[in-house]
């Protein structure tokens, strides 16, 4: 088992998978191998089937089940190079609409934050459509303050992209980064070094509670709101796709369901009684 895990980890690193993906793959592969050994399952397809059914019984999401399956496939197909076909398709993913905050709700949230650095973190997350990981990893050299652009490097899927920087935050950026080197992080912790994702999440959650927002929003909801509000402003979905760094336009088109103006114009029949 240890040999299989080591082979898998080495190959994942060589192929430049993210630390988060490596950790997840190794976790599910270890879980699967322990499960198969405990149940004494020699047939790989049967072992995988029972393992995934166990996950389903435990109420795991289709996304989690797919991640576990992809990890096992990587083990057999790539790391161990077994010729036996793993005949499983991914679970159908639930199509939940993203949680989007209104412009007024975002304004209320930002207003509740008194710490200038924390206010800037949340404001920029919304204004540029950034993931929390992209905010905390942002370096001064990645921001072109004259062109009002941000170069996001090694984002999800190891892809770079260019997104917009708001003119409204130009002064805040200059004040926060005064005296720093180009390679320095924009947002550092009070003890120096990188700010953690959990800190940024907590800042957002505290402000959301103070603003009495009832939606089940997270920091990522700022990114959802960025995309939705751009579409409402008439920005072409293909440009929004580029700003978000989505590989497939269907991912971006999900936001059109949240902001469909034709649907919003329809009145309930109750209003006509």
Give the distance from CA 1 to its chain's centroid: 31
CATH of the domain at 50: 1.10.150.130
Whether residue 92 lies inside any domain: the answer is no
Are residues 113 and 73 part of one domain? Answer: no
Are residues 182 and 115 part of one domain? Answer: yes
35 and 175 in contact (C-beta within 8 Å)? Answer: no
136 and 149 in contact (C-beta within 8 Å)? Answer: no
Q: Note if 28 is an active site residue.
A: no
**79, 95, 117 — which closes off a domain?**
79
Nearest CA to 124 out of 173, 158, 159 is that of 173
| Distance in angstroms (rounded) separating the CA atoms of residues 36 and 53 | 13
| Distance in angstroms (rounded) separating the CA atoms of residues 23 and 1 | 16
Strand partners, 185: 139
Are residues 232 and 143 part of one domain? Answer: yes
| Distance in angstroms (rounded) separating the CA atoms of residues 190 and 171 | 21
Nearest CA to 115 out of 31, 217, 190 is that of 190
Neighbours of 59 (CB within 10 A): 7
Are residues 117 and 74 part of one domain? Answer: no
- pLDDT of residue 272 exceeding 70, the answer is yes
Q: Note if 151 is an active site residue.
A: no
Whether residue 90 lies inside any domain: the answer is no
Q: How many domains does the chain fold into?
A: 2
Whether residue 272 lies inside any domain: the answer is no
What phi and psi, each to the nearest 5 degrees, are found at residue 5?
A: -65, -40
- What pLDDT sits at residue 262? 67
Of the residues 55, 118, 119, 223, only one is catalytic, namely 223
Q: Note if 93 is an active site residue.
A: no
Question: Averaged over 119-142, what is the pLDDT?
Answer: 95
Q: How confident is the model at residue 95 (pLDDT cuts 50, 70, 90)?
A: low
Q: How confident is the model at residue 92 (pLDDT cuts 50, 70, 90)?
A: low
Summarised one tens digit per residue, pLDDT across range 164-207 is: 999 999 999 999 999 999 999 999 888 878 899 999 999 999 99
% the chain with pLDDT above 90: 58
Q: Note if 156 is an active site residue.
A: yes
Of the residues 156, 206, 238, 267, only one is catalytic, namely 156
| Distance in angstroms (rounded) separating the CA atoms of residues 173 and 184 | 13
Alpha helices in 39-180 (DSSP H): 44-57, 62-73, 103-111, 116-128, 132-136, 170-177
- pLDDT of residue 23 exceeding 70, the answer is yes
Q: Note if 246 is an active site residue.
A: yes
- What pLDDT sits at residue 167? 94
Are residues 159 and 52 part of one domain? Answer: no
- pLDDT of residue 123 exceeding 90, the answer is yes
Give the distance from CA 81 to its chain's centroid: 31
Q: Determine the angle formed by the axes of helices 220-232 and 103-111, rounding to 10 degrees.
A: 140
Q: How confident is the model at residue 114 (pLDDT cuts 50, 70, 90)?
A: very high
Are residues 240 and 140 part of one domain? Answer: yes
Q: How confident is the model at residue 121 (pLDDT cuts 50, 70, 90)?
A: very high
**Which of 65-79, 104-118, 254-268 is least confident?**
254-268
Q: Note if 206 is an active site residue.
A: no
CATH of the domain at 107: 1.10.443.10
- What pLDDT sits at residue 258? 77
Are residues 42 and 107 part of one domain? Answer: no
Instruction: List the domain range (segments joined by +) for residue 186.
Output: 103-261
Whether residue 151 lies inside any domain: the answer is yes
Joined tokens for residue 70: 């992809």
């Amino acid at each position: 088992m240890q040999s299989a895990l080591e082979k898998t980890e080495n190959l994942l690193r060589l192929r430049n998978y993210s630390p988060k993906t490596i950790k997840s793959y190794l976790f599910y592969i270890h879980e699967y191998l322990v499960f198969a050994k405990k149940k004494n399952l020699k047939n790989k397809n049967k072992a995988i089937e029972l393992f995934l059914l166990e996950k389903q019984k435990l109420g795991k999401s289709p996304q989690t089940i797919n991640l576990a399956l992809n990890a096992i496939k990587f083990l057999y197909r790539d790391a161990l190079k077994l010729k036996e076909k793993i005949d499983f398709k991914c679970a159908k993913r639930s199509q939940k609409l993203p949680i989007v905050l209104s412009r007024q709700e975002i304004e209320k949230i930002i207003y509740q934050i008194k710490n200038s650095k924390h206010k800037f973190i949340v404001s920029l997350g919304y204004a540029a459509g950034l993931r929390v990981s992209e905010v905390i990893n942002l370096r001064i050299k990645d921001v072109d303050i004259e062109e009002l652009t941000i170069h996001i490097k090694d984002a999800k899927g190891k892809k770079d992209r260019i997104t917009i920087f708001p003119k409204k935050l130009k002064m805040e950026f200059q004040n926060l980064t005064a005296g720093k080197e180009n390679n320095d992080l924009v947002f550092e912790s009070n003890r120096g070094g990188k700010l953690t994702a959990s800190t940024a999440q907590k800042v957002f959650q505290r402000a959301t509670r103070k603003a009495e927002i009832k939606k089940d929003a997270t920091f990522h909801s700022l990114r959802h709101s960025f995309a939705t509000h751009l579409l409402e402003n008439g920005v072409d979905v293909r440009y929004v796709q580029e700003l978000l760094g989505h590989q497939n336009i269907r991912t971006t088109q999900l936001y059109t369901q949240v902001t469909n103006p034709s649907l919003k114009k329809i009145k309930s029949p109750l209003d006509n009684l």
